[in-house]
Amino acid sequence: MKKPDNKGHSEEYFGDFRDHWYNQDFLELMAKRWELKNVNSLLDVGCGQCHWTRIASSFLNKGSHVTAVDSDPKWAKSDEKLEKFFSERDIAFQIEEADALNLPYKDNSFDAVTSQTVLIHIENPLNALREMKRVLKPGGILFCAEPNNLVASVVKDSITAEFRIEEVIEWFTFGLIKEKGKIKQGKGDNSVGDLLPKFFSQLQLKDIRAHLSDKANVIIPPYNSEESKSMLDFRLENYYEDFMKAETKKQFEQFGGKYDAVLKRAEKKMDEYKAELKDATRNQTYYDVSTAVMYLVSGRK
């Protein structure tokens, strides 16, 4: 799948499968822990298609005000679906184009500031968090959802469970080189979630807490649940397609050819895996508990 020139930032990684990232009762628990019922003004930084904006806003009281910002002009605009969502909840909503490192708001403007899978794209996430803290009111809460994506390299499905030890090691090595290469590019750390408590502490936030999402996406035959279908469809349509290959090549280039042999072997293995995935899905013999380590970290100003 070739990436069209008009696609927005990270658009290849958006999709209905995001609606299955969290269990609803877990979100309800987090809303209580974060005391969102006391929040009257919320800012979502790097909102994308407003997946996280809608989740967080669903726990706010009527009459609250929500602001969403994104640096990509494609995402920094509302639509009928968004307007309806907030109108039905009697929540004032505005969306603007803005840089996470230079938010266009005065100090102490919001009761809560949040972001989801944004810091993984920023070279210096501490600076972005510092800016989020700046616009947060004293006593307000900053909460962020960020992953460790590298863990996925060692989570088994019904195909990778049959890998030899050497194949598992190389599978992980491939993911690690990609992650380190992206960092060297200045495009962020895909496992930045591990470091959030450190950053929050450096910013001298108070009452720092870290939680893990309890969600695991079960993919089992006959794949007829909305969750199974959306997760599997995304994987079949996007798994190591052209845009991912191009990204990977640039990430490996950061090491001056040192790992070219690893890339060559990994790409061959990826192609084999995708062919097996298609066959196993067709034959209804594919199983997975598609999970990720998603941290939800909070602190107060």
Domains identified in the chain, total number: 1
User: Which residues, other chains included, contact 140 with Cβ-Cβ below 8 Å and sequence gap of 6+?
Assistant: 110, 111, 112, 113, 300, 301
Q: Is 4 part of a structural domain of the chain?
A: no
Q: Is 5 part of a structural domain of the chain?
A: no
The Cα–Cα gap between 79 and 77 comes to 7
Q: Is 177 part of a structural domain of the chain?
A: yes
In contact, 133 and 301? CB cutoff 8 Å: yes
The Cα–Cα gap between 15 and 84 comes to 20
Of the CA atoms within 13 Å of residue 30, those in its CB half-sphere come to 25
Can you give the pLDDT at residue 5?
A: 54
Q: Which residue has the tokens 């996925």?
A: 152
The Cα–Cα gap between 210 and 255 comes to 34
Amino acid type, 119: L
Q: Could you write out the DSSP letters of every residue in 173-193? A: HHHHHHHHHHHHTTS--TTGG
- In a structure prediction context, what are the per-residue pLDDT tens digits for the chain, which is 301 residues long? 334 456 556 545 556 778 889 999 999 999 999 999 999 999 999 999 999 999 999 999 999 999 999 999 987 888 899 999 999 999 999 999 999 999 999 999 999 999 999 999 999 999 999 999 999 999 999 999 999 999 999 999 999 999 999 999 999 999 999 999 999 999 999 999 999 999 999 999 999 999 999 999 899 999 999 988 888 888 888 877 888 899 999 999 999 999 999 999 999 999 999 999 999 999 999 999 977 799 999 999 9
Q: How far apart are the first and last CA of the chain?
A: 44
Containing 284, the helix (H) or strand (E) segment is none
Q: What is the CATH number of the domain that holds 270?
A: 3.40.50.150
DSSP state for residue 291 in the 8-state scheme: E
Task: Give me the domain span that covers residue 264.
Answer: 11-300
Q: Is 1 part of a structural domain of the chain?
A: no
Look up residue 262 and give its two tokens: 């690893």
Can you give the pLDDT at residue 4?
A: 46
Closest to 132 in 3D by CA, of 159, 178, 101, 95: 101
Can you give the pLDDT at residue 241?
A: 81
Amino acid type, 165: I
Q: Is 115 part of a structural domain of the chain?
A: yes
- Omega within 30 of 0 (cis) for the link into 222: yes
